[in-house]
Amino acid sequence: AQKVTQAQTEISVVEKEDVTLDCVYETRDTTYYLFWYKQPPSGELVFLIRRNSFDEQNEISGRYSWNFQKSTSSFNFTITASQVVDSAVYFCALTPFSGNTPLVFGKGTRLSVIA
Amino acid sequence: DSGVTQTPKHLITATGQRVTLRCSPRSGDLSVYWYQQSLDQGLQFLIHYYNGEERAKGNILERFSAQQFPDLHSELNLSSLELGDSALYFCASSVAPSGGYYNEQFFGPGTRLTVL
């Protein structure tokens, strides 16, 4: 069985602070994909990143960075110099490394960035 | 815009009623997934169709059913609605399986169902 845990239900930060969203996963598959999605107040799901289990390199995209550590089954997401527009619910998700499989989502972390 | 469309955007109905949610996948995508996002359960997978056939079932209630039509659009039917069925229902589509490589799921904007 697969499971994704986002222990932080809600986080509140002041604008320009850095914030890290934690994601811990469980899977028996040796190969799998991990994802982060953003859900702004408007409700749509916005894809942020996909990482396969072969690639443990950290990734940076602008103010966003991701730290994948297979040893601790974690895939954490850091926003640097947070902005009010970053306020959203962020979901971590997991799926096996095969053609068409559903995503298993964590419960999400609600991030509020205060001006 | 993901290219996946869902109608209606909002739906308000009463307990005991039946509703149908519609999803049109991206052009060329054969797979359609349905997910439910509720306050207590979070985002969870309901059912997956590929080229008209059911491929996988998740936590889908017996009161719920789905189908995928020859033109590849899909409908999710919810019957005997209860207050707890109020949720945001997402549809996602992806291309055909390709021998072990992940096929991106593109999410629609969702249908917000409110049961009063």
Q: What is the C-alpha to C-alpha distance for residues B47 and B78, in angstroms, rounded to an integer? A: 13
On chain A, the residues whose CB falls within 8 A of the CB of B88 are: 43
Q: Hey, are the CB atoms on B102 and A50 less than 8 Å from each other?
A: yes
User: pLDDT over 70 for what percent of chain B?
Assistant: 94
Residue with token string 């409700």: A43
Q: Hey, are the CB atoms on A43 and B42 less than 8 Å from each other?
A: no
pLDDT beyond 90 at A88: yes
Higher-confidence residue of B104 and B63: namely B63
Contact B14, B114 (CB under 8 A): no
Contact A48, A38 (CB under 8 A): yes
Q: Looking at residue B97, what is its pLDDT?
A: 62
Q: Looking at residue A71, what is its pLDDT?
A: 93
pLDDT beyond 80 at B103: no
Averaged pLDDT, A9-36: 95
Instruction: Provide φ and ψ at A70, rounded to 5°.
Output: -65, -35
